Amino acid sequence: MDASTESLARQWLQAARHMLILTGAGVSAESGVPTFRDALTGLWARFNPEDLATEAAYRDHPGLVWDWYEMRRDMVRAVAPNPAHLAIAQWAAARPDKVTLVTQNVDGLHQQAGSEHVIELHGNLFRNSWLHGCGRCEAHRSDVTHPPSCTACGALLRPAVVWFGEDLPRVALYRAQHAAETADVCLVVGTSGLVYPAAGLPGRAKAAGARVIVVNSQPSALDATADAVLQAPAGECLPRLLAL
Ligand code: BV8
């Protein structure tokens, strides 16, 4: 990645009236959290994550999918935000009301780094909900079963993440799309750009006149949309790009 592209991108960011920052699993990679497309290991090695993160997989293999999320929760609890998360949090704190942070990640590391008002398009690992519950499941929760279930209606407790084939949280998606349509700069960090509708946000920003900057350690599907591509690890690039 050449210094002049980074310098140009930094000028755009400094001049931005309002910016959208969209992050994916790559922003957490240097914290030690495997990206979504890193090969699964252990019990789950034989699965493709896109097949495991579905209601059908949960219904077919409730214990195996529940344990996949429990393993991921334990893994995230053991790591810390990295310089990329911290640079984003400090940049936004210095520019109140000028930055909208939207993440596809479910690890909560942006919040741990101090980011506020994080828009989580795909939910959060550390929250649970009920799979087609009766509305009184919490009061009838049994942790004797694996996964926990409702003794009144039999519903299973599930991680409050968005599975493939499920709609994204309506308000979160609306706010993210509005931010894309009103931003003059869109900074995209650590996403393959393969999962929709999140991956459509940079194109939406571009169509509304924003400049798009992509930070990724590898080429991504969003490079064609970008006005600047900074091919570098986020933990190295963002502290320079977003230096106060
Ligand atoms: C929906 C929670 C309506 C679960 C996740 C339009 C076109 C095509 C397909 C669709 C479409 N609309 C809908 C679809 C279907 C589907 C989809 O997009 N499929 C894809 C695979 C083609 N979308 C959906 O189902 C969405 N729902 O649209 O509802 C609907 C309803 C019914 C039928 C149709 C539509 C729901 C999608 C949400 C799925 N849930 N997560 C869980 O975590 O278990 S998505 C999951 O992927 C993670 O959240 C992850 O964040 C996300 C995106 O992946 P990335 O973040 O990009 O991670 P990835 O590993 O791919 O890439 C990491 C990147 O980081 C790489 O580029 C790498 O180079 C880079 N990197 C690595 N290290 C570093 C780095 N970069 C910088 N520094 C580093 N150090």
Same domain (yes/no): 137, 178: no
Across-strand partners of 103? 23, 120
Mean pLDDT lowest for which of 29-38, 90-99, 125-134, 194-203? 29-38
Residue 160 vs residues 55, 57, 73, 111, 121: alpha-carbon distances, Å: 12, 15, 12, 17, 11
Residue of minimum CA distance from atom 69 in ligand 1:
218
Give pLDDT tens digits for 101-151.
Answer: 999 999 999 999 999 999 999 999 999 999 999 999 999 999 999 999 999
Ligand 1 within 6 A of CB of 218: yes
pLDDT of residue 43: 77
Give pLDDT tens digits for 152-201.
Answer: 999 999 999 999 999 999 999 999 999 999 999 999 999 999 999 999 99
First-residue to last-residue Cα distance in the chain: 21
Same domain (yes/no): 105, 22: yes
Same domain (yes/no): 171, 200: yes
Same domain (yes/no): 97, 188: yes
Same domain (yes/no): 56, 139: yes
186, 206 in Cβ contact below 8 A?
Answer: yes
Our answer to whether residue 122 is catalytic in this structure is yes
Q: Which 8-state DSSP code applies to residue 156?
A: B
Across-strand partners of 188? 22, 214
**CATH number assigned to the domain comprising residue 208:** 3.40.50.1220
The one-letter code for the residue type at 101 is L
| Mean pLDDT along residues 30-40 | 87
Q: What's the total number of domains in the chain?
A: 2
Rounded Cα distance between 59 and 216, Å, is 35
| Confidence at 3, pLDDT banded by 50, 70, 90 | confident
The residue segments making up the domain with residue 146 are: 38-78+128-161
| Confidence at 39, pLDDT banded by 50, 70, 90 | confident
Rounded Cα distance between 115 and 102, Å, is 11
